[in-house]
Amino acid sequence: MQRAGVRTIKKRDGRVVLYDETKIANAILKALTAAGEEDAAAAARLANEVGEAMAEHHGKDSYRIEDIQDEAEKALMRAGFEAAAKKYILYRAQRTHVRESNTALMKACDEITNADARKSNLKRDNANVDGNTAMGSMLQIGSVAAKTYNSSHLLTEEQAQAHSEGFIHIHDFDFYSLTTTCCQIDIDKMFSGGFSTGHGYLREPQDIQSYAALACIAIQSNQNDQHGGQSIPNFDFGLGKGVAKTYRRLFAENLAKAMQLLAPEEPFDKERAKALCGEIAKKTGVGPQLEGDKAFLDALRLALSALTEEAEKIVRFATESAAKETDRRTFQAMEALVHNLNSMHSRAGAQTPFSSINYGTDTSPEGRMVIKNVLLATEQGLGHGETPIFPIQIFKLKTGVNYEKDDPNYDLFEMACRCSAKRLFPNFTNLDAPYNIKYYQEGRPETEVATMGCRTRVMGNVYDPEREIAFGRGNLSFTSINLPRIAIEAEKDEARFYKNLDSMLELVTRQLLDRFEIQAKKKVRNYPFLMGQGVWLDSDKLGPDDEVREVLKHGTLSIGFIGLAETLAALFGHHHGESREMQEKGLAIVRHMYDFCQAKSAEEGMNFTLLATPAEGLSGRFIRMDKKRYGEIPGVTDHDYYTNSFHVPVYCSISAYDKIQIEAPYHALTPAGHITYVELDGDTAQNLEAFMAVVRCMHDAGVGYGSINHPVDRDPVCGYVGIIHDVCPRCGRREGEEIPMERLAELKKHYPSLTEFMGID
Amino acid sequence: MTEMQYTKQPGKDVGFERIRRITGYLVGTMDKWNDAKKAEEHDRVKHDLPS
């Protein structure tokens, strides 16, 4: 029976619909059934009571869904169905949660669709995705939808809460159920025998230019299988082989040229030159190579002297021309690589691949030629002299190889410093640091620590101690802890701080393992390049339908942290840049987390590692939340960002030397990755000696990975690159100012490649 | 051609590009940085070298 008063109800979206008591009965029945008290008659009776109560207690115009639900809860309680009432309330809360996240999702989609990226932090969350483009927006919409799903379906209540309230931050959360972070691609192995990108097979390259082009393709393809960056750990060793092939070909070509010119009576073309070189190579065991091989050249001279008296001259011409042309081709190849990596796209065209290359230790003439030319191409910059953003370049420092004046690659170390002083890259990684040198084996480049540009480092391997190498491995996922929050909540009680830190570390460990479980269930075919092409260590032993669980265990699960400085300030009033005592406290905290990771690794047989998180978006996210929760606490929440990992705060006045000494010991405790920066003013950075002194200071102090920051400015109008204060030193204009026509004409005389302007004759 | 090249007044309203390292990597000119990182960059002080 329906009461006269309740004919219609108002839904949440404002629509008015006919009141239907059976719907209420159904909902109540579901709650009863869930509580194991299925009783249709009771459900009908209670629904009827709800109707009556509605008519009695609520005004005629306000029959809303919420009112009905309130009454249904009461009716269940009144009738003694307490368990069912609980189920009903729970279900209702869940629905509310889903509805709210849907609303948030729609709001986010709206912002992505309509806001200008320059004004929206949401759209600038990842600076390498252009949120103003169609594909960038599509990626962002996919990202917010995935985050909504992941947090309501894949996290435990505790994890979801810790993440959403900012106790922890689960990085790359949008990819939670999809893939892993990053990989060091062994480019040498990749090229041997060629590879397939899924859209066709690429033959083993034969020339440095194709080596360089395919290196970009490998990075791009792998980037589509993972959410983080891609790195080549053996750029010099791998691409050096392309230089060697190029030299061999150019040697034969130049040999033929010289013969045709100086011994025209003898029919001697490219093919014959190649065949002759091949024959001699078979006999002497070596072919033509940069910085020649005496046995080969002697044998070649002998063979040629049977044909002509000009043998000596011809061999010299071939040797010199081949070297010069190979060098030129290598430079062009490196120039193209740098251009490609700044312009090519991955991930539905939304993102430039996040690429890194490591080099510096190959002392062969071919490897050295690669290193020299990639540095020259970087120094030169892009088409209009712009500073290349990619690839992130990492120069590996090693005593006996490039660090001391007498070392074979010392000249390249100097070049690297010169390049970095102009272009900010390369950064420097330190193979001599105790925690790096322990893996190093001469003649095995895979044992040299390599870095993923932002800082990720993967070396130790508790899962497979025989394979403590850089190649074919990477991070699986990482989650960072809001360290200052734990310190604030401890209210200066150190013991309480450690207790809460431990429970947070446990929570993160559990969450990383849960995420691993999702990742591990994937098949090789879910990662067509990374696993299908055998890039990841041991994946070449699997078939397309095999689970990747075991091979993934070569990767790392990393626990990161942010804001050690603010943590110390919250606990003790000042930070580790201010006193030796605080440095001890800081080291104790980080060592505690390091020990925790070591213990977990042993316990689980998985690589848990501590990460000095490279906070980009996170630096703002945590502190905004903490400011809201706790207000402005001096030295803790009174800035707009938390300090990066274990860094001394950027605003702290300190000498370069002191900063390095303070930060160095933390590098040993953060095997998942770390970096130390020194800020130099522009003029100091241009002083090569001073620049090198800072790099050496980092190396000697045991900094594992470091770089020097200095201002790099550019006037897009006249193309000047350097330091620009208020006035451009080349064209004399201020920011936003127009250049007078006469001045422009004058500049054009000095700089013929000056930017063209439409509308001017 | 870029946007700034279509003009009869070269340089008008065109700013200087400032490239800074954001963490281990670069992200292009600073207009792409998020607000927190912009604030951080603003606060950075230079570190002296012993002379």
Task: Tell me the pLDDT tens digit for each residue of A47-66.
Answer: 999 988 888 877 666 688 88
What confidence category does residue A120 fall into, taking pLDDT thresholds of 50, 70 and 90? confident
Number of residues that this document lists for chain A:
761
The alpha-carbon gap from B9 to the nearest alpha carbon of chain A, in Å, equals 6
The alpha-carbon gap from B4 to the nearest alpha carbon of chain A, in Å, equals 8
Nearest one of A205, A284, A189, A213 to A246, comparing CA atoms = A205
**Average pLDDT for A650-670:** 97
Using a pLDDT cut of 90, give the percent of chain A over it.
Answer: 74
pLDDT tens digits, residue range A376-428? 999 999 988 889 999 999 999 999 999 999 999 999 999 999 999 999 999 99
pLDDT beyond 60 at B6: yes
Question: Given A387, A453, A717, which is nearest B11 (Cβ)?
Answer: A717
Between CA A121 and CA A548 the distance in angstroms is 36
Question: Given B11, B13, B21, which is nearest A424 (Cβ)?
Answer: B21
The alpha-carbon gap from A746 to the nearest alpha carbon of chain B, in Å, equals 14
Question: Given A427, A620, A654, which is nearest B36 (Cβ)?
Answer: A620
**How far, in Å, are A138, A154, A344, A346, A640 from residue A225 at the CA level?**
18, 21, 16, 10, 34
CB contact under 8 A, A755 and B5: yes
pLDDT tens digits, residue range A215-238? 999 999 999 999 999 999 999 999
Predicted local confidence at residue A675, as pLDDT:
96
Which of helix, strand or coil describes residue A609?
strand
CB contact under 8 A, A425 and B44: no
**Average pLDDT for A660-668:** 98
What confidence category does residue A666 fall into, taking pLDDT thresholds of 50, 70 and 90? very high
Q: B41: buried, middle or exposed (CB in 10 Å: 19+, 13-18, 0-12)? A: middle
Considering only CB atoms, which chain B residues are within 8 Å of A644? 23
Q: In what order do the strands lie in the sheet with A556-562?
A: A168-170, A475-482, A556-562, A607-612
Give the number of other CB atoms < 10 A from CB of residue A199: 7
Select the residue from A389, A452, A455, A627 to test the B interface by mutation, using most B Cβ atoms within 10 A: A389
Q: Out of A172-176, A355-359, A373-377, A679-683, which region has the weakest mean confidence (pLDDT)?
A: A679-683
The alpha-carbon gap from B17 to the nearest alpha carbon of chain A, in Å, equals 5
Predicted local confidence at residue A59, as pLDDT:
65
| Residues contacting residue A406 through CB under 8 Å, at least 6 positions apart | none
pLDDT tens digits, residue range A1-30? 444 567 888 887 788 888 888 999 999 999
Nearest-10 crossing angle of helices A580-604, A494-520: 40
Identify each DSSP E strand in A74-114 by its residue range: none
pLDDT beyond 70 at A569: yes
The alpha-carbon gap from B29 to the nearest alpha carbon of chain A, in Å, equals 9
The alpha-carbon gap from A56 to the nearest alpha carbon of chain B, in Å, equals 54
Between CA A413 and CA A692 the distance in angstroms is 9
Question: Given B5, B24, B36, which is nearest A614 (Cβ)?
Answer: B24
Select the residue from B40, B44, B45, B51 to test the A interface by mutation, using most A Cβ atoms within 10 A: B40
Backbone φ, ψ for residue A727 (5° rounding): -120, 135
Q: Out of A484-488, A507-511, B29-33, which region has the weakest mean confidence (pLDDT)?
A: B29-33
Which of helix, strand or coil describes residue A25?
helix
Mean pLDDT of chain A: 92
Between CA A695 and CA A681 the distance in angstroms is 15
Q: Which residue has the higher pLDDT, A317 or A3?
A: A317
Cis ω before A445 (30° cut-off from 0): no
pLDDT beyond 80 at A121: no
Predicted local confidence at residue A585, as pLDDT:
98
Considering only CB atoms, which chain A residues are within 8 Å of B40? 619, 639-641, 650
Considering only CB atoms, which chain B residues are within 8 Å of A694? 49
Between CA A439 and CA A449 the distance in angstroms is 8
Helix (H) or strand (E) holding A98: helix A82-114
Nearest one of A652, A672, A671 to A662, comparing CA atoms = A652
Interface size, chain A vs chain B, as Cβ–Cβ contacts under 8 Å: 174
Which residue is associated with the tokens 């001279």? A301
Q: How far apart are the first and last CA of chain B?
A: 47
Considering only CB atoms, which chain B residues are within 8 Å of A744? 10
Question: Given B2, B16, B37, which is nearest A715 (Cβ)?
Answer: B16
* ipTM given for this complex: 0.91
Predicted local confidence at residue A2, as pLDDT:
44
The b-or-e profile of A69-81 (16+ CB within 10 A means b, else e) is bbbbbbbbeebeb
Predicted local confidence at residue A558, as pLDDT:
98
CB contact under 8 A, B11 and A640: no
- Indicate the pTM of the whole model: 0.88
The b-or-e profile of A651-682 (16+ CB within 10 A means b, else e) is ebebebbebbbbbbbbbbbbbbbbbbbbbbeb
Q: Does B47 touch chain A (CB under 8 A)?
A: yes
Considering only CB atoms, which chain B residues are within 8 Å of A427? 24
Cis ω before A391 (30° cut-off from 0): yes
What's the one-letter identity of residue A667? H
Considering only CB atoms, which chain A residues are within 8 Å of B44? 650-651, 679, 709
Predicted local confidence at residue A325, as pLDDT:
98
Q: A234: buried, middle or exposed (CB in 10 Å: 19+, 13-18, 0-12)? A: buried
Between CA A152 and CA B31 the distance in angstroms is 34
What's the one-letter identity of residue A703? V
